[in-house]
Amino acid sequence: MIDETAIEHDLRAAAARAAEHPLPDLGDAAATAGLLDVAYTTLDSPLGTLLLARTDRGLVRLAYVDFEGEDEVIEELASRISPRVLAVPRRLDETRRELDEYFKGARHQFDVPIDWRLTHGFGRRVLRATARIPYGAVSSYKQVAAAAGSPRGSRAAGNALGANPIPIVVPCHRVLHSGGGLGGYTGGLERKRLLLDVEHGSTTSPE
């Protein structure tokens, strides 16, 4: 005959031991062992699910999951940065908090550090110039090309903005055509419109 009282006692004892000696956090254990180079997580946002990834240098990737695909982004990170990619949500807590504040209209500038390693040359200069466009303001492809050192490089600037690995935080949605047209946007123009709307409709046409 099964002694249910004894079984219950053993289960309670096992639970108590587990509480006293919890399993180590996988992310912390991987980092301590030198096995974590890229931490990532996802965030539900007004623009859909976002994938966020960071290295020890800072935020390296932000992707629209329904546009690029989570597996594809992780494979890109593994091939271009390191195969040591692991889902560690806690390491993206600050980024998630700042994005939540931004979408609520409570944050006008991101403070999280950026890892620019997925950008190079003229493209990186374009994105750095774009990162300096203030909240609620807009610029043009020609203006950011000039700020990056190539006044005639509007088309190349557009390509760099289209390949922006960190949209929203690096605000390529603030770059429009000189006549005020939206231009293009990774993830679709509706997201670009929504981001401009988040910034309280305070945009004006670039010169």
- C-alpha to C-alpha distance for 15 and 119, rounded to whole angstroms: 49
Strand 48-54 vs strand 38-45: parallel, antiparallel, or unpaired? Answer: antiparallel
Give residue 135's pLDDT.
96
**Residues with a known catalytic role:** 172
Q: Kindly list the averaged pLDDT for each block of 10 residues, start to end, along the chain of length 207.
A: 60 65 61 80 97 98 95 96 95 97 95 98 97 96 95 93 97 89 89 92 48
Give residue 186's pLDDT.
85
Amino acid at 94: E
Quote the CATH superfamily of domain 28-103. Methylated DNA-protein cysteine methyltransferase domain (3.30.160.70)
CA 114: distance to chain centroid? 10
- C-alpha to C-alpha distance for 142 and 206, rounded to whole angstroms: 10
Instruction: Report, at the CATH architecture level, how domain 121-198 is classified.
Output: Orthogonal Bundle (1.10)
- C-alpha to C-alpha distance for 69 and 89, rounded to whole angstroms: 18
Q: Which of 144, 145, 148, 92 is nearest to 115 (CA)?
A: 92
Read off φ and ψ for residue 175, nearest 5 degrees.
Answer: -105, 120
Give residue 28's pLDDT.
65
Amino acid at 51: L
Give residue 203's pLDDT.
44
Give residue 112's pLDDT.
98
Give residue 202's pLDDT.
46
**Domain regions of the chain by residue span:** 28-103, 121-198
Q: Which of 134, 191, 198 is nearest to 167 (CA)?
A: 191
- The tokens for 149 are 């050192």
Edge-to-edge strand order for the sheet containing 59-64? 59-64, 48-54, 38-45, 85-87
Give residue 13's pLDDT.
72
